[in-house]
Each structure stands twice: as structure tokens, then as C-alpha cells.
Amino acid sequence: MDNVRIALLGSGFVADFYLQGLANVRSGEVVANYSRTPERANAFARAWSIPESTTDLQALIARNDIDLYVIALPNEMHLPVSLMLSSAGRNQVCTKPLGRTDREARSMLDAAKASGAMHGYAETEVFAPAVVKARQMIEHGALGRVLWVRSRESHGGPHSAHFWDVEKTGGGALNDLGCHCIEAARYFFGKEDKIVEVMAWGARLVHHDKTQGEDNALLALKFESGGFAHCELSWTTKGGLDLRNEIHGSEGSIFTDVTRSTPIWAFTTQSAGYVLEKAEIDSGWTRPLPEEAFTYGYQGEMRHFVNCLRQHATPRETYEDGYIVNCILDAGYESMRSHQWVGVNYGTPPAPIRMKE
């Protein structure tokens, strides 16, 4: 397969980032996009010069000239759309979190496996260049044995109204942001080191008029090896997106900070235009972030999934990883309610991946 023909399902915030990432993937071509309204579908197609746009999802999935479907839709649509794709035997990639619950994620995983098609979990954090470099250093032995990870993701709150609705999304800040930090911790420790127990706290501290979910959360993770990680999640942090990781080992430490340590600082009395994801101001002192899609991992993950499809290879992030993250999130919410440590229930191990020829 020389060129991968892609249908993008969605036309919102994350879909825009996926197109930014795919713009630098030479072997991937977005040939169609789907949205639930013709206005959004047409506007998105015009903005990105996509040849076709549609509101007919069934017809789009029925086509035989599309190699990969990328699900960039709201959380409540992940399960039904993924099951439609699996039923048709289509290759698919889904944005985070995979499901609203571990049951939804397991249904998606089982169906995708049964289809024999490729499935990829689009978790940007573990494709971010700084995070990938940190993992390479760990694999080289730079840190000795990884002992403790601290991961933080925060901003001032979701950009779209549906994100505030916990029934539609599956949860608040823990669900929205915790999936990134959980997968970062698994990546740094190594996926063979299972997270066995969690403790979580969450509260609505600021956005009482917008959501019934938590706008701040902490999640502690115990690993089978005895290692420990904690995740800091917030929808009330000002100043734009804050992404940081610390990895501490027996022989050293690694720190990543891609949004607060940018190579550009500016002071302007007039608008500087777009500065940074979820930045509240665009004048005064600002720290613009160049090449956001590359820095956050969108370009890396899209290139990886396209290359895996071309080479008939299994992605390093699959629906199994998304399911595991959902299991950990569900345990976190149980802990939040019970105020106790909670063991993570992964259920029956899924069958091995067998991609169709």
C-alpha cells in the first residue's frame, strides 16, 4: 500500500489537530470527512481542501476505496461508530478516551479484534517527541530502575460545551486529562509492569455552573513492580495548556515541559494572534508554542498509524491500551467515591491481535 486513503470522522477541535499532524505525513491522504451537520462538514472540508464531505456515515463506511477511518468524534459516539466500522471490517483509529467506561472500551476492543482489521488508540502523549526521547533514554539504561513518575496535564477548562456534560463524556477532568497521564506512566515504567491499585481524589472547585463532574483531580497509581506514579489533572489552571512529566529512577531523573518552556517569549500591547492551546490572552507577556501538532504528538501518532497500515504491522497503541486506560479510570472513580485504594479489574485478558491479510 503506497498511499493510505483516510476518512476523518469529525470536524471539531481534535479533528483539526489530526489534520495538522497528517499534513506532514506523505503517505496519508484525507479524501473525505464526516460531520453530523452539513454546515460543519462543508466548512471543515473547505478549510483543509478535503475533496468530499458528508453527513451520511453509513454510506461513507460502506465505501471500498478508503483504507483508514479516524474517529475524532465526541465520546458518546466512539462506541456506536467503532462497532459500525468493525462490522464492516474497516481499519480504524480512535481518539482518547477509547470509551466512556471500561465496558464500552471492551466492546470496541473485542469487535475490532474480531474484525481482523487494524485498530489504533490515538493517545498523543506517548508520541510527543520529548516523551519518546525520555523513553529512549530509559531503555538505554540512563535512569536505572524507574521508581516514580509525576505527570501533569491542566488548562482552564474544555473548549466545547459537550465536554462539560459527564453523561456524554464519561467524567470530568480525571476522564478528560487522566488518560494522557496514565498512558505516560505506563510508557515510562514499561507496559509489562501492570498498574494494580489506584487512589483518587476529585472535586468541583470552580466550574459549579458548567458541570456536575470534577474540575480537579489527583490519581495515584501503584505498579506491580512496587513503582509509583501520580497524576495531576485540572480544568482550572490559567495560562494555557500545561504538560509536564517527571521520571525518577535509581540512577537519575528526566523532566519534560513542552508548554511552559517554549523557545519564544513575547511582550505585546496588541494581539499576537493564536498563542497556545487554551491560552486566555493573546497580548502582554505570552509564550507562543511553535509546531503544536508536532510537539503534542499528533504528527508522530498519525505517521505511525499510517506506516503500520502500509507495513501490515500492529500499532504500539491499540484498543487494548485504550481499554486498559479505561479500566484504570473506572477504578479511579470508584476510589473517588469510596475514599479508599481500589484494585484495578482488567477482566478476562483479550485474545491476541490477528490482523486480516
Q: Average pLDDT, whole number, for the chain?
A: 94
What is the average per-residue pLDDT within 273-299? 89
The full 3-state SS of the chain, as one line of letters, equals CCCEEEEEECCCHHHHHHHHHHCCCCCEEEEEEECCCHHHHHHHHHHHCCCEEECCHHHHHHCCCCCEEEECCCHHHHHHHHHHHHHCCCCEEEECCCCCCHHHHHHHHHHHHHHCCCEEEECHHHHCHHHHHHHHHHHHCCCCCEEEEEEEEECCCCCCHHHHCHHHHCCCHHHHHHHHHHHHHHHHHCCCCCEEEEEEEEECCCCCCCCCCCCEEEEEEEECCCCEEEEEEECCCCCCCEEEEEEEECCEEEEEECCCCCCCCEEECCCCCCCCCCCCCCCEEECCCCCHHHHHCHHHHHHHHHHHHHHCCCCCCCHHHHHHHHHHHHHHHHHHHHCCCEECCCCCCCCCCCCCC
How high is the pLDDT of residue 356?
55
**Grid cell in block for residue 219:** 490519581
Higher pLDDT, 348 or 319: 319
Predicted TM-score (pTM) of this structure: 0.94
What is the average per-residue pLDDT within 194-219? 97
- The C-alpha atoms of residue 114 and residue 35 are separated, in whole angstroms, by 27
- The C-alpha atoms of residue 333 and residue 328 are separated, in whole angstroms, by 9
Reported as a single tens digit per residue, the pLDDT across 105-145 is 999 999 999 999 999 999 999 999 999 999 999 999 999 99
Q: What residue spans define the domains of the chain?
A: 4-124+299-316, 129-296
Neighbours of 342 (CB within 10 A): 19
Reported as a single tens digit per residue, the pLDDT across 239-248 is 889 999 999 9
**Grid cell in block for residue 209:** 455552573
What is the average per-residue pLDDT within 75-93? 98
8 A C-beta contact, residue 92 and residue 85: yes
Question: Does domain 4-124+299-316 sit in CATH 3.40.640.10?
Answer: no
Lowest mean pLDDT among 140-154, 223-237, 279-293: 279-293
Longest dimension (CA), the chain: 59
Reported as a single tens digit per residue, the pLDDT across 4-26 is 999 999 999 999 999 999 998 98
How high is the pLDDT of residue 357?
46
What is the phi-psi region of residue 219: left when phi exceeds 0, alpha when psi lies from -120 to 50, beta otherwise? Answer: beta
How high is the pLDDT of residue 286?
87
Lowest mean pLDDT among 168-172, 274-278, 316-320: 274-278
CATH class of 129-296: alpha beta
How high is the pLDDT of residue 352?
60
